[in-house]
Structure 1
């Protein structure tokens, strides 16, 4: 998805020193440098990217297509397409992903659940017979 197309733009920012208490719903792209206590969810209408920087802390579930983490997440992570874990990433919770890129130093205290990629079922092949 993201290898062929341009990534969505980052349109929202939670700056360092900012704390949000409550659920967050965003469109396209979001970067978190501060703290969020609540779930973070991307809208389903279009591709999304969420960046959780080295200075960020999230207490709640995270849902987006492309998730990049280099900070701390206390809760489950759901990456619909790609999950990138940078060297200082710390996740306490289960992780659901389609593709995973994990750098040395990243830590997950939870279970990993790869999302099965559905393969289109093809009709069975029929061999031509030599009947007269």
Structure 2
């Protein structure tokens, strides 16, 4: 009762804790928001609403997160893309693309690293490219868009 307490030996965890690189979201488009127009961003951008326009980031660490209810009508260009919603347009990811079970892409997908869950779908070409090839493709695509805009003016 009043004796010295004996401490039990503590277990030491030798397994390293896995910490996934989760970006801090700087911009979030909520589920009831609809945007018409092109968007340029840096950092991490999360979309649960609808966007009609192209989404582009030159940031080499940019992250686009498309939620289950998210819908993009336009081309998407970012370093990392995590999608569980719908994209109607071409997609360029300079680093990584993760397509979750409810992801749907109606367009070509240019990627360096692709992870695709059962249930995800792509209706277009899958084109594996190294980083420098992806950047060249994006520049060519941008130049083609600029040329067509100047012809329409």
Give the TM-score, by structure 1 length.
Answer: 0.81
Structure 1 stretches of at least 4 aligned residues deviating more than 6 Å after TM superposition: none
Q: Which runs of 5+ in 1 are unaligned?
A: 119-132
Q: For residues 6 and 55 of structure 1, what CA distance do their matches in structure 2 show?
A: 24
Q: Which runs of 5+ in 2 are unaligned?
A: 1-19, 133-153
Q: In the comparison of the two structures, how many residue pairs are matched?
A: 114
Aligned pairs for 1:87-126 (under 5 A) are 87-116=101-130
Q: Which structure dedicates a bigger proportion of its chain to helix? A: 2
Q: For residues 117 and 28 of structure 1, what CA distance do their matches in structure 2 show?
A: 19
CA RMSD of aligned residues (A): 1.8
Query: Structure with the greater relative contact order (CA < 8 A, sep ≥ 6): 1 or 2?
Result: 1
Structure 2 equivalent of residue 25 of structure 1: 40
Q: For residues 38 and 87 of structure 2, what CA distance do their matches in structure 1 show?
A: 14
Q: For residues 49 and 85 of structure 1, what CA distance do their matches in structure 2 show?
A: 13
Q: Which structure dedicates a bigger proportion of its chain to strand? A: 1
Q: Whose radius of gyration is greater, 1 or 2?
A: 2
